[in-house]
Amino acid sequence: MRVIAGVAKGRKLVAPIGDHIRPTKDRVKEAIFNSLHSYGLVNDKSFLDLFSGTGSLGIEALSRGANSVVFIDNHEEAIDCITVNVEKLNYGSSSKILKTDALNFLKKKEYFDVVLIDPPYKYEHWGALLEHINAHAIVIESSENVTLESDWQIIKSQKYGQTNLLIATQQI
C-alpha cells in the first residue's frame, strides 16, 4: 500500500496483518481523488476520514494538498497504524487522530469540507450516520448501494469489483 500522488507520491504506508482492515485499492483511491480534484475539493480543504483503518485516504488527501485531516477509528490497531503512517510522512501538524466511534464523533456537528466514509463491509447504520454529516462533500466506499437524501447531488457513482463508490456534494 502506498500514496499514489502528490508530495508523498510513492511512499509506502504500513498496514496491519490480517483482513480485519481493508485498505482502499489504488484504482479506487485514484478515482476518488481525481473526481474531488476536478470539483476543487482537495487543495486547502478540511477532511474527515471516518473508519480510517490505515489512514490511507486521509493521507492521500494531505499528499494532494488538503489543509487538514481528522482521522477517526475505534480500533486500537488502526489508531496505531494511522499514527505510524502520519508520523512517517510528517503530517502530524495537519492531522488529528481520535480513537472514538464515528457516529458519536459526528453528533458534535463539526463542519468539514469533505467527509471520507469507508466503514467495514456490511455496515448497518447508514441512515443514522448520514443524518449527522455536516460537510460540503461526501465520499462513500461500501459493499452495498447507499441511498442519499435529495439534498445531496451525486457527482460520481461507480462500482469497482465489490466496492461501490459514491461521491456527492450539497449546499450548506
pTM of the shown model: 0.94
Confidence band (pLDDT; 50, 70, 90) for 19?
low
Alpha carbon distance 139, 145 (integer Å): 13
Q: Where are the alpha helices (DSSP H) in the chain?
A: 26-38, 56-63, 76-88, 102-106, 126-131
Only one residue has cell 488502526, namely 78
Q: In the chain, what are the domain boundaries?
A: 26-169
Confidence band (pLDDT; 50, 70, 90) for 150?
confident
The predicted-structure confidence for 101-149, as pLDDT tens digits, reads as follows: 999 999 999 999 999 999 887 788 888 899 999 999 999 999 888 888 8
pLDDT at 24: 77
| pLDDT reading at 20 higher than 80 | no
pLDDT at 25: 82
* Domain 26-169 belongs in CATH node 3.40.50.150: yes
